[in-house]
Amino acid sequence: MVTSGALPVVDLAPFFTGDASGMARATEAMREACRTLGFFRAVNHGVPAELMASALEVSASFFALPDEEKAKVRPAEGSQAPLAAGYGLHPAHLVDRYEYVRVCHPRHELNLYFPDEPAGFREAMEECYAKLTELGLLIQDILNDCMGLPPGFLRDFNSDRGLDVMVALRYFPSTEPEEKIGLSEHEDGSCISFVFQDGVGGLEVLKDGQWIPAEPVEGSIVVNIGDVVRVLSNNRLRSATHRVVRKPVHRHSFGFFWSIHGDKWIEPLPEFTAKVGDAPEYRGFQYNEYMQRFMKSRTDPQCRPEDAFSVSHYAI
């Protein structure tokens, strides 16, 4: 069942103007959203609206190219990396119907070779990546305060930006009533995720057994908590289930996944366990192990939807 209801809104303007009382209100709004839903809509976030509009336009032009042109930026032949950069058509399950261009950090060995066409593709992707990285640093600092952690803890804990990933997506139209799902319900394996989308809509968030539409609002960015923060906070913050439903027309969006170094050991922090007398709800794990299994269960054609790997595997 889908219900109406807007996402909580967090106005980030005070963090650019230095308004202390406004920053306090925004931090409290983010804290409440992350505790109750795991999703919120960021406004006045510092990423220019015209840049997001341009990126959506140029990505739509890329996806409209002939298949043989798009294939020129596929990952290298034989690449087994689950997050290899380049063009792809989601192969996991027939219910997931989208194509994508994945962009990695400039110093990542799997970074994308950009095509010459359409004009402006490289510039839009690189500028979006840089601006969303800046937003990630800000959100991470605010989240640090929301969690009551020592100043700068998350920034030091998650200082390596080399594994962040940005994805431009095009979801295929639904041609039959039963062809509803563009992206199956899931939680993100990242620390934090950012989404901006065109006016088509289709992103939905699960709350109390009901699907809440995350309707497009021009210039805004949808932010959600991922599994890493869920574990670090010992379930204090939510990593909400969400999905994308297909519409009668193509849907274009961008996702940016604020990740963490694969060697990091992830477990509930003492601030949410020993220091407050609570037992950990997850056993620790190496992030790389988790992410490899997470991605394989979503990209291996032999895996079934019910076999999707999630952080609940580590639940105590």
CATH number at residue 259: 2.60.120.330
Residue corresponding to tokens 């015209």: 50
Strand 242-245, strand 86-89: pairing: unpaired
**Is 150 within the bounds of a domain?**
yes
The pLDDT of residue 144: 97
**Is 147 within the bounds of a domain?**
yes
DSSP H or E segment with residue 244: strand 242-245
Q: Is the pLDDT of residue 16 over 80?
A: yes
Cβ burial of 303 (10 Å; 0-12, 13-18, 19+) is middle
Q: Give the span between the Cα atoms of 185 and 189, in whole angstroms.
A: 13
Bridge partners for 285 per DSSP: 266
Residue 295 confidence class, pLDDT cut points 50, 70, 90: confident
**Is 73 within the bounds of a domain?**
yes
Work out the mean pLDDT of the chain and round it to a whole number. 88
**Is 213 within the bounds of a domain?**
yes
The pLDDT of residue 4: 46
2-12 core/surface letters (b: 16 or more CB in 10 A; e: else): eeeeebeebeb
Q: Is the CB of residue 222 less than 8 Å from the CB of residue 263?
A: no
Q: Is the pLDDT of residue 210 over 80?
A: yes
The pLDDT of residue 259: 93
Residue 310 confidence class, pLDDT cut points 50, 70, 90: confident
The pLDDT of residue 266: 96
The pLDDT of residue 109: 47
Q: How many domains does the chain have?
A: 1
Residue 46 vs residue 181, higher pLDDT? 46
Express as a percent the part of the chain with pLDDT over 70: 86
Q: Is the pLDDT of residue 274 over 60?
A: yes
**Is 193 within the bounds of a domain?**
yes
The pLDDT of residue 100: 86
Residue 73 confidence class, pLDDT cut points 50, 70, 90: confident
Q: Give the range among 57-61, 108-112, 308-312 with minimum mean pLDDT.
A: 108-112
**Is 3 within the bounds of a domain?**
no
**Is 127 within the bounds of a domain?**
yes
Residue 126 vs residue 23, higher pLDDT? 23
Q: Is the pLDDT of residue 46 over 80?
A: yes
Bridge partners for 10 per DSSP: 42
Q: Give the span between the Cα atoms of 36 and 199, in whole angstroms.
A: 26
Q: Which residue range is the domain that position 96 belongs to?
A: 9-314
Q: What CA–CA distances, in Å, run from 235 to 33, 143, 150, 207?
A: 14, 14, 19, 15
Mean pLDDT computed over 283-289: 93
Q: Give the range among 127-131, 166-170, 176-180 with minimum mean pLDDT.
A: 176-180
* CA atoms in the 13 A half-sphere facing the CB of 123: 8
Q: Give the span between the Cα atoms of 119 and 8, in whole angstroms.
A: 37
Q: Is the pLDDT of residue 78 over 80?
A: no
Q: Give the range among 23-37, 74-88, 231-245 with minimum mean pLDDT.
A: 74-88
Q: Give the range among 104-113, 125-134, 203-212, 257-266 with minimum mean pLDDT.
A: 104-113
**Is 269 within the bounds of a domain?**
yes
Q: Is the pTM of this model over 0.85?
A: yes
